[in-house]
Structure formats: structure tokens, C-alpha cells
Structure 1
Amino acid sequence: MKEIIKDLVKTYGPSGHETKVAELIKSQIEDNIDEIRMDNMGNLIAVKKGESDKKVMLAAHMDQIGLIVTHIDENGFIRFSNVGGVSPYVLLGERVIFANGVEGTIGKEKLDSIKELKLSKMYIDVGLDSEEKVKEKIKIGDVATYNRGFSDLGDRVVAQALDDRAGCAVLIETIKELDEVENDTYFVFTVQEEVGIRGAQTSAFGIDPDIGIAVDVTATGDTPEARTMAVSLGEGPAIKIKDRSVITHPKVKDLMVKVAEQEEIPYQFEVLEFGGTDAGSIHLTREGVPTGVLSIPARYIHTPSEMVDYGDLEHSVKLLSGILQEKID
């Protein structure tokens, strides 16, 4: 799975520009599923047929946060806004890359206090000294992403875009793990989650599932002076109880707990006081869909150096595989 994650995080794919990620995922799974298609929004939908006519939807988002070009000045410095949740404090000195391979670094204006730091006070420098030279390569509306490598730390990995390429890797491995599923299962690799869980909304409407499970990263409370939270790296996948976008349906939570316990999979419960996942859209589809979330504990979310535990990923695959062997009433 590390090799899959390495390929995924190196692939350009900010919100609204997920095509390359979708192509990579398709190449990984097309021999292991019954149907595969891309919908009008760009969601990649892979289907495994089951014995039951009940439909299970699993969703992991392909997009990552980014920076969108808003202005290029006469000296070639690029002003930008955010695509998704980007902190200016994380950006200082970072390197970024555009879809065409142009690289740059991020600088800031002179400030009397670092507390004044805002995205509007920052710029991208691609090493060209005029507006004309920059505009030959970069246009207004182009999007850059972090330009960082993949680090294998043994039991843990550090990389950009693990939110949510880690979830995508878990779905890929689950597809490969399962020869058969009990119910018709829709593995959906969604778009534009970081800008408002948009891809999950349209794909869930089209699929009309009987049950939904989002697979995404979640924060932890196990670093020095972290926000108090009962989730730690290496203690197993987290079964979400609530976040700002969803209250997990009790039957979905109970199903996940039952499978975890019968398969002797370590797990944690998660109450996230901020943020949300694709589950926020899925559970509001049509007349409503019982929905839950399998969360992958992650440190340093929305930075260029997110961290996940390899054991948590393996246990997530095992838990999903077990769930998909259960008959849905």
C-alpha cells in the first residue's frame, strides 16, 4: 500500500482538477471491478456486484487543497487565494508546483507583526522577473499545490495530500482484497470535497445508496499540547460519532463496531469538533441515507507533511472488507 500512496500523493489533483488522480486510480482497479465510469462532475465510480440488491456507497475524495492565481504583477510575482483550508502560517517558505510543472516558492510582504500575516500579504515567486515571462507559463485561475516528497518512516508515512489520498488507497486495497461482496458496492472516488463536499452530493444522488460510509482522515489528540481528543495514531481506525457535517446513524455505527470486534480489529471512537467529510452530503441525499465514517487518524492535516500510521491503514482495509461481507437489511 505504501507504493500506491506514494504514487497518489505525487499526482497533481487540487479541487476541480482531479483527472490525473482518477486516471491513476482507474489503472489500479479496473481489473478488479465489474463496472467503472466517470460521472458529469468527475467522480470515479467503481462497482462490485453482490448477491443482494442493496447498495452500499463508499466514498474517499481525490482532491487536495491548493492555491489559485488571482493576479500577476509587473515584476512577475503571483498573488493567490486559497482552494480549500489553507493556513498562511503553513505556507511561509513552502515550495509549490503548477499542473504544467512550473515550480515556485512562497514569500511575504514586510510585516510589523507576524499576526498580520494573511494570504493577501503573500505571493508566489517562480523565478521570472516580468509579468510577460510569467504569463507565458501561468494564467489567472491556474492552481498550485504543495511540492513535497514522500517519506517512509517505517511504521508511519509523511507526505502531502494524505487528506485524502490515504482514504483512496484504503478503497483501492479493499477492492483488490475482495473477490466477492454481499451487496452491490459502489466505490466512489469523489471530487471537490475540500471546497464543500460537492462530488459526494451528486454521486450519492445518482447512486441512491441504502447505506453510505465515507473514508477520510481525522485529527488526533496525541501530540504535545494538542486539542483534547480521544484519537491517536497507531490505535486503529476511528469510528466517527459526530462532526460538524454529520451525526453517524446508530445502525451504521453499530455495524462497524460489530465487525471490528468480531474480526478483532483495534478501533477508536471519534467526536470531531470541527470539519466534516463526504458523509455530510451522502446522508442528506434524497430521502436520507444512513451514513457513517471510517476515519484514518492523521497528524498535521492540511500541511505539506501529513502523517498516518501504516497499521491504521491496514486495519481500515480489514474493517471495510468485513463490513462489505455483511448483508444490509
Structure 2
Amino acid sequence: MQLLHNLCRIAAPSGNEAPLTTFVLDYVRQHQASWQHQPRVVAHENLQDCLLLVFGEPRTAVFAHLDSIGFTVRYGRQLVRIGGPQAEAGYRLVGKDSQGEIDCTLTVDEETGELSYAFPREIDRGTELTFRCDFRETETTVQSCYLDNRLGVWNALRLCETLEHGIIAFSCWEEHGGGSVAYLAKHIYEIYGVRQALISDITWVTEGVHAGQGCAISLRDSLIPRRSYINRIRAIAAASGVPHQLEVEGSGGSDAKELQHAAAPWDWCFVGAPEDHVHTPNELVDKRDIASMLALYQVLMREL
């Protein structure tokens, strides 16, 4: 879990993914020699802070978003949400501005719900603040801020160890409206002819999806994927024997929304571990679901 711990400690809210992009590139350079197959690394200004790892003759792309939720300092001591973080008075927020390091406390006005911070000085406007990382590991669970989606990134990087054919696409801005997957999808479709995808992201523990019972294959969220593609994935998963659950939701979304709206015939399916305490500093995931997620991705990338 050391890799996951390292990922969770890197501040990379939507719009400022560059620190995590740099970490991932460095990780690939340091570890790819030990992987079974070597990827082509695609990282240039036309992809902004996104990057692609292209293995062999790809048929399927895995999308994992790099960014996290957070807060932007407005005027005075006001804060504006980045994405949809839960805001509870007392949460510790960290960052850095022109005057130095910041470790402050989130405050919430009981009447208006307006967000601000408690700190001895005013913080430069435009500064990004993120949850302070308190990574906790037990024999059965991991708990930290930003398991959504550092666990999806972890899954993608671990998948690289055995992947022969496929594309790993690290995207940006997912938590705050998206935007990057549109040009990634266009590039992947036009250059490599790939038009089917798996979404390596984290979903919710609900009344129908339980911790410890395997990763979730989502049959739908606010969008509906093509049923014939989902049925192929379900059949592969059932034959594999890897523990998994089926998820049905009427809200929520992921990088898949831009694939659904793409000007190319993309198929997609969200496959990810469920977490509790979503979008808080205390996101909680069962290790059995982490193992299930990686194992299922390994099978799907061979069979699809």
C-alpha cells in the first residue's frame, strides 16, 4: 500500500494535476523495466497534463482520472468548492501560497452554509487547499482522503505490470466538469482505432453494494452504457470467478460521460471498488475489493 499512500499525499485538485502527472511519469520510468511488456509513453503539450501508456496492439482503453476535489481561496477568508467535497467544520486543509506552507481549518457558517478557513493570516486568493492526508491502514481496510481516485490510478499502474495489449489513459478535471476525455477519446480513436473502455474509478457503498464483496460493475448511473458491451463484461467476470457486485444507480457519473457524448462509437463500463465516507478526508475501502478490482481488470484486459 506504499504506492497508494504516496499517491494520496500528492495535492492535485482539478486544474492542477501537474504534480501527480509528474509523479506518474517518474514512476513509469523507474518501474517499467520490471513490467512484462513495455509501453509507449505519450505525454506532450497537446494532451496538457494528461498522459497515455500504450501497450502492444490495444483493443481497450482504461481511463483513470488524476484529479481530486478541494477548495479554492476566494476573497478574504472565503472558500469555493472544487468539485463536490463534503464540508464539515474542523476538517484540516493544507496548501501553499507565496507566503509559505498552510495548515488551516475549515469553518462552515451555521446559518448560510458559507465556507471559510481559520488561519493566523489571510491566504493568497486563488490558492488551492486540499484535505490533509491521514493515511490509515489495517489488516482489512485502507482509509484516507482522495482514495477517489488515487485508488483508480493505483489500479491502473499495477495493471501495467502484466498488461500486454491496451491503453492506460490518465485524465484530468473529472471532479469538476470534465473536459479532457473528449480530446483523449478523439486521439485514441483516430490514432489507435480503439473504441471500448473501462473506467478505473471508485464508486459508493450503498444499500445494494457492500464493502468486502468485490468491486462493482456498474450497469448504469446517470448515463446508460450499451447493454451488449456490459453483457460481454458480465460474462467474462462470471467466468473468471473474481468476486464482484452489480451496481445500478440513477445519479452520479465519471469519465464515461464524455465517451457517451463523443463523436465516435465508444463503448464503456465503470468497474471499481466501493468506498464509504465519500468525498471526505476519511474515505474507506476494503482491501478485498481492491484485490478484486485489480484481478478483474487483468482478466478483462486479456479477454475484451
2:176 aligned residue: 195
Query: Are 2:8 and 2:133, in contact at CA under 8 Å, matched by a contact in 1?
Result: no
What secondary structure is seen at the aligned counterpart in 2 of 1:197? Answer: coil
Match of 2:129 among 138, 144, 147: 144
Deviation readout 1:63-104 (Å, 9 max, x if unpaired): 1111111112xxxxx21111100233x3x1111011453211
Give runs of aligned pairs for residues 1-329 of structure 1, distance below 5 A.
Answer: 2-30=1-29, 31=32, 32=35, 33-38=38-43, 39-50=46-57, 55-72=59-76, 78-88=77-87, 90=88, 92-99=89-96, 101-109=101-109, 114=110, 116-118=111-113, 120=114, 122-128=115-121, 134=122, 138-178=123-163, 180-181=164-165, 185-208=166-189, 209-221=194-206, 229-244=207-222, 246-326=223-303, 328=304
What secondary structure is seen at the aligned counterpart in 2 of 1:102? Answer: strand
What secondary structure is seen at the aligned counterpart in 1 of 2:198? Answer: strand
State how far apart, in whole Å, the 1-side matches of 2:24 and 2:250 are. Answer: 31
State how far apart, in whole Å, the 1-side matches of 2:3 and 2:133 are. Answer: 16
State how far apart, in whole Å, the 2-side matches of 1:108 and 1:83 are. Answer: 16
Query: Are 1:12 and 1:99, in contact at CA under 8 Å, matched by a contact in 2?
Result: no
Query: Are 1:66 and 1:82, in contact at CA under 8 Å, matched by a contact in 2?
Result: yes
CA separation of 1:99 and 1:320: change in aligned 2, threshold 3 A = farther
Amino acid at match of 1:123: S
Query: Are 2:49 and 2:172, in contact at CA under 8 Å, matched by a contact in 1?
Result: yes
* Structure 1: gaps spanning 5 or more residues: 73-77, 129-133, 222-228
Deviation readout 1:6-50 (Å, 9 max, x if unpaired): 000001100011111112222223424421123433112111113
Give % identity.
22
CA separation of 1:214 and 1:108: change in aligned 2, threshold 3 A = closer
Which deviates more, 161-170 or 270-279?
270-279
* Structure 2: gaps spanning 5 or more residues: none
TM-score (norm 1): 0.83
Query: Are 2:47 and 2:184, in contact at CA under 8 Å, matched by a contact in 1?
Result: no
1:225 aligned residue: none
What secondary structure is seen at the aligned counterpart in 1 of 2:299? Answer: helix
CA separation of 1:284 and 1:155: change in aligned 2, threshold 3 A = same
State how far apart, in whole Å, the 2-side matches of 1:12 and 1:46 are. Answer: 22
| Bigger radius of gyration among the two | 1
Query: Are 1:248 and 1:293, in contact at CA under 8 Å, matched by a contact in 2?
Result: no
Amino acid at match of 1:201: A
TM-score (norm 2): 0.90
State how far apart, in whole Å, the 2-side matches of 1:301 and 1:14 are. Answer: 16
Query: Are 1:232 and 1:297, in contact at CA under 8 Å, matched by a contact in 2?
Result: yes
Deviation readout 1:84-134 (Å, 9 max, x if unpaired): 00233x3x111101145321112244xxxx4x341x2x3112222xxxxx4
CA-atom RMSD in angstroms? 1.7
1:131 aligned residue: none
Amino acid at match of 2:41: I
Deviation readout 1:177-204 (Å, 9 max, x if unpaired): 33x23xxx11011110001122222211
